């Protein structure tokens, strides 16, 4: 075997899903679902086998609840919600009935029966094109590994026990959410997986836990083995195996610098967000779950610029009632005073599927029944959401925003529903903000082309760059095969954003950006130069963006955006922006 020291440095490009730099000894994990032996039992043993399963389910429930508590105490509560879904899967009555039936009628051990049933579910989910449903296969596998481990009276699912004492970097085909949470964070500093995408649960977990992570590296190289050294560069989506002493020294210096810079940002938590020449920009945060509210406030956000309501809606049917939605929105409204919250109506569809709503399979979910289309087709449920949002507007500053707008009629019809909901509340004597502001998301090129018309109907526009990039360049945002073509700095994307901001300003309304590009420090000068009024970003990036804006001046940024018109490729624009930004905040552009 070649020793780690003699192996050449190898760079593998993936997708960075959790920023940060870490290095150390590699552990390659095999996380496959192990098939138990297909063994038969006597009829007299059936009852004790079924009891064994009940005990294993109890033990699994306890383990999942423990993990959930642990992750909540680590201030990563949004990720804890994933384990609610695991608890539901664990107790899925259809699965458990099928398992019991196999043991009773075929006289097979409960381990085998359980394995064969869940394996069938996992295999059929994996064949589905929809990425959200494919991701559910990972959840079922995660739960199944624990149950089978408990049936064997071992704690099979716990990764930490399997790690070497000195493991720092975990490499694996894929990691389940509980693999990720179970990692001993005193050892594991980073991980990289062959599979995965920005929206996978593992990516969400890594960001919550602040572990540098890269996904979609496709293949761990043949010669790579446990005990090698590696660097995970979550900023650039890079894994460097067997780094040379020079590379390692460079990365250590970068990490040191990053630590210093981040610790220096605490003093701007309460500062306004303004350029060096006094142009103010509202810097708000994006959230998916209420549990994020405290960390958002800690980071000095000026309110919530995007509350993606579909996540809680999809997580639990009980939460969909008007009473529960109202309580949920009120909590956000109260917590974000005096700044307030932009509540986006449901954006189900695309990669956020809701199986009970999609009785007919979607051949092309990202171009299908999604966002406002679904709300307008389900008026009763739309009305419940609008009434709940309006009721919350009585206790704090609430704005409402419609997603996935492709036509003017959609905006007009949505507003009619809002007006009808207002009339109902008025008639019932229920208080709400009569002046509630209404916004439209601009994330489809057709909406950009009619932005003047849309702007005349609403109080603000918010640009969803995640989708605008996907629909402008025809690149599926969750397909890692074409990830290289997903280019935030594509000149067409910049031109569409420019057009949207100008249309908003021509019509005297404000315009924000709430897609991931708002958090991209390379692009901050463009947003300043275009005169964007609001940026809504992931809370981890918030202070860096505020710092970057404070270093920039609007005049030079204005010149920059004019210069960018000369470029025809994303690469040229990216390089130009990086060079420009490096003059103002080199410390963040690593």
Please tell me whether residue 519 binds ligand PEP under the rule CB under 6 A.
no
Q: Is the Cβ of residue 328 or residue 472 nearer to ligand PEP in the bound state?
A: 472
Distance CA 381, CA 352 (A): 17
Please tell me whether residue 515 binds ligand PEP under the rule CB under 6 A.
yes
Q: Is the Cβ of residue 346 or residue 530 nearer to Mg ion in the bound state?
A: 346
Query: Is residue 405 within 8 Å of 448, Cβ to Cβ?
Result: no
Please tell me whether residue 228 binds ligand PEP under the rule CB under 6 A.
no
Instruction: Return the one option of ligand PEP, Mg ion, none that residue 373 interacts with (CB less than 5 to 8 A, by type).
Output: none
Instruction: Return the one option of Mg ion, ligand PEP, none that residue 465 interacts with (CB less than 5 to 8 A, by type).
Output: ligand PEP
Per-residue binding string, ligand PEP, 275-314, x by CB under 6 A, is -------------------------------x-x------
Q: Is the Cβ of residue 188 or residue 447 nearer to Mg ion in the bound state?
A: 447
Distance CA 288, CA 135 (A): 18
Distance CA 42, CA 44 (A): 5
Region of 31-39, 169-177, 230-238, 463-471 interacting with ligand PEP (CB under 6 A): 463-471
Q: At what angle do helices 77-90 and 46-73 cross, to 10 degrees?
A: 170
Distance CA 342, CA 397 (A): 9
Distances (CA, A) of 418 to 166, 355, 404, 415, 496: 58, 27, 17, 5, 28
Instruction: Single out the catalytic residue among 511, 514, 557, 577.
Output: 514
Please tell me whether residue 464 binds ligand PEP under the rule CB under 6 A.
yes
Binder among 467, 480, 520, 533 for ligand PEP (CB under 6 A): 467
Residue 232 CB, nearest distance to ligand PEP (Å)?
25
Q: At what angle do helices 46-73 and 93-106 cross, to 10 degrees?
A: 150
Q: Which of 435, 441, 363, 376 is nearest to 402 (CA)?
A: 441
Distance CA 125, CA 257 (A): 44
Please tell me whether residue 388 binds ligand PEP under the rule CB under 6 A.
no
Please tell me whether residue 370 binds ligand PEP under the rule CB under 6 A.
no
Distances (CA, A) of 576 to 20, 156, 348, 491, 563: 24, 51, 37, 12, 9
Residue 55 CB, nearest distance to ligand PEP (Å)?
41
Distance CA 466, CA 351 (A): 12
Q: Is the Cβ of residue 148 or residue 514 nearer to ligand PEP in the bound state?
A: 514
Per-residue binding string, ligand PEP, 539-578, x by CB under 6 A, is ----------------------------------------
Residue 465 CB, nearest distance to ligand PEP (Å)?
5
Q: Is the Cβ of residue 302 or residue 516 nearer to Mg ion in the bound state?
A: 516
Residue 194 CB, nearest distance to ligand PEP (Å)?
25
Binder among 347, 476, 480, 520 for ligand PEP (CB under 6 A): 347
Q: Give first-to-last CA distance, the chain, whole Å.
A: 35
Which residues in this chain contact Mg ion in the complex, by CB under 5 A? 443, 464, 467
Query: Is residue 213 within 8 Å of 18, Cβ to Cβ?
Result: yes
Please tell me whether residue 349 binds ligand PEP under the rule CB under 6 A.
no
Distances (CA, A) of 236 to 15, 574, 581: 7, 14, 17
Query: Is residue 45 within 8 Å of 235, Cβ to Cβ?
Result: no
SS3 211: coil
| Those residues with Cβ within 8 angstroms of residue 92's Cβ, 6 or more apart along the chain or in another chain | none
Instruction: Encode burial over 116-126: b for 16+ CB neighbours within 10 A, e otherwise.
Output: bbbeebbeebe
Q: Is the Cβ of residue 300 or residue 464 nearer to Mg ion in the bound state?
A: 464
Residue 587 CB, nearest distance to ligand PEP (Å)?
27
Residue 443 CB, nearest distance to Mg ion (Å)?
5
Please tell me whether residue 142 binds ligand PEP under the rule CB under 6 A.
no
**Count of CB atoms situated within 10 Å of the CB of 255:** 18
Q: Which helix (H) or strand (E) holds 423?
A: helix 408-428
Q: Which helix (H) or strand (E) holds 366?
A: none
Please tell me whether residue 465 binds ligand PEP under the rule CB under 6 A.
yes
Please tell me whether residue 135 binds ligand PEP under the rule CB under 6 A.
no
Region of 75-83, 218-226, 259-267, 464-472 interacting with ligand PEP (CB under 6 A): 464-472
Token reading at 391: 């009721």
Residue 219 CB, nearest distance to Mg ion (Å)?
31
Instruction: Return the one option of Mg ion, ligand PEP, none that residue 179 interacts with (CB less than 5 to 8 A, by type).
Output: none
Active site residue 577: no
Please tell me whether residue 234 binds ligand PEP under the rule CB under 6 A.
no
Residue 466 CB, nearest distance to Mg ion (Å)?
5
Q: What is the largest CA-CA distance in the chain?
A: 84
**Count of CB atoms situated within 10 Å of the CB of 205:** 27
Active site residue 201: yes
Instruction: Single out the catalytic residue among 86, 156, 201, 547.
Output: 201
Per-residue binding string, ligand PEP, 409-448, x by CB under 6 A, is ----------------------------------x-----
* List of residues contacting ligand PEP (CB under 6 A): 306, 308, 347, 443, 464-467, 514-515
Active site residues: 201, 514
């Amino acid at each position: 075997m070649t020793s780690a020291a003699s192996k050449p440095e190898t760079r593998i490009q993936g997708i960075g899903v959790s920023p940060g730099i870490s290095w150390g000894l590699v552990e390659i994990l095999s996380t496959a679902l192990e098939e138990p032996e297909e063994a038969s039992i006597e009829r007299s043993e059936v009852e004790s086998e079924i009891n064994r399963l009940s005990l294993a389910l109890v033990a699994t429930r306890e383990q999942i609840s423990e993990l959930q508590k642990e992750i909540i105490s680590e201030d990563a509560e949004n990720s804890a919600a994933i384990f609610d879904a695991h608890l539901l899967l664990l107790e899925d009555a259809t699965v458990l009935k099928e398992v019991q039936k196999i043991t009773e009628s075929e006289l097979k051990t409960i381990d085998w029966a359980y394995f064969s049933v869940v394996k069938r579910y996992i295999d059929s989910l994996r064949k589905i094109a929809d990425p959200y449903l494919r991701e559910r296969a990972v959840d079922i596998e995660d739960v199944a590994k624990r149950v089978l481990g408990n049936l064997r009276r071992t704690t099979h699912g716990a990764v930490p026990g399997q790690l070497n004492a000195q493991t720092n970097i975990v490499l694996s085909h894929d990691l389940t959410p509980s693999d990720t949470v179970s990692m001993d964070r005193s050892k594991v500093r980073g991980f990289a997986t062959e599979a995965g995408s920005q929206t996978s649960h593992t990516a969400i977990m890594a960001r919550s836990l602040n572990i540098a992570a890269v996904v979609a590296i496709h293949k761990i190289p043949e010669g790579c083995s446990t005990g090698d050294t590696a660097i995970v560069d979550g900023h650039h989506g890079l894994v460097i195996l067997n780094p040379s002493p020079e590379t390692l020294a460079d990365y250590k210096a970068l990490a040191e610098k990053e630590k210093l810079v981040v610790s220096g940002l605490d003093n701007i938590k309460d500062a306004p967000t303004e350029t060096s020449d006094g142009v103010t920009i509202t810097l708000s945060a994006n959230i998916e779950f209420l549990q994020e509210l405290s960390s958002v406030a800690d980071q000095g956000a000026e309110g919530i610029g995007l509350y993606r309501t579909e996540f809680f809606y999809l997580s639990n049917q009980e939460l969909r009632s008007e009473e529960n939605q109202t309580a949920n929105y009120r909590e956000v409204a109260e917590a974000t005073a005096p700044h307030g919250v932009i509540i986006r109506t449901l954006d189900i569809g695309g990669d956020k599927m809701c199986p009970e709503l999609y009785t007919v399979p979607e051949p092309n979910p990202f171009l299908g029944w999604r966002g406002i289309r679904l709300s307008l087709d389900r008026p009763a449920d739309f009305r419940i959401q609008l009434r709940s949002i309006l009721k919350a507007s009585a206790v704090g500053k609430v704005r409402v925003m419609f997603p996935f707008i492709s036509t003017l009629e959609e905006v007009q019809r949505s507003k009619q529903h809002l007006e009808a909901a207002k009339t109902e509340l008025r008639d019932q004597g229920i208080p709400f903000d009569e002046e509630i502001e209404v916004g439209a998301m601009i994330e489809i090129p057709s909406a950009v082309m009619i932005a003047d018309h849309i702007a005349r109907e609403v109080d603000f526009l918010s640009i969803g760059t995640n989708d605008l990039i996907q629909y402008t360049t025809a690149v599926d945002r969750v397909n890692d095969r074409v990830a290289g073509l997903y280019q935030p700095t594509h000149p067409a994307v910049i031109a569409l954003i420019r057009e949207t901001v100008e249309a908003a300003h021509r019509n005297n309304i404000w315009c924000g950006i709430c897609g991931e590009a708002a958090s991209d420090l390379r692009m901050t000068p463009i947003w300043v130069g275009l005169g964007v009024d609001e940026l809504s970003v992931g809370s981890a990036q918030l202070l860096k963006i505020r710092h970057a804006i404070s270093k920039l001046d609007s005049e030079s940024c204005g010149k920059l955006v004019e210069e960018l018109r000369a470029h025809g490729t994303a690469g040229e624009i990216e390089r130009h922006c990086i060079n420009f930004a490096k003059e103002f905040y080199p410390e963040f552009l690593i």
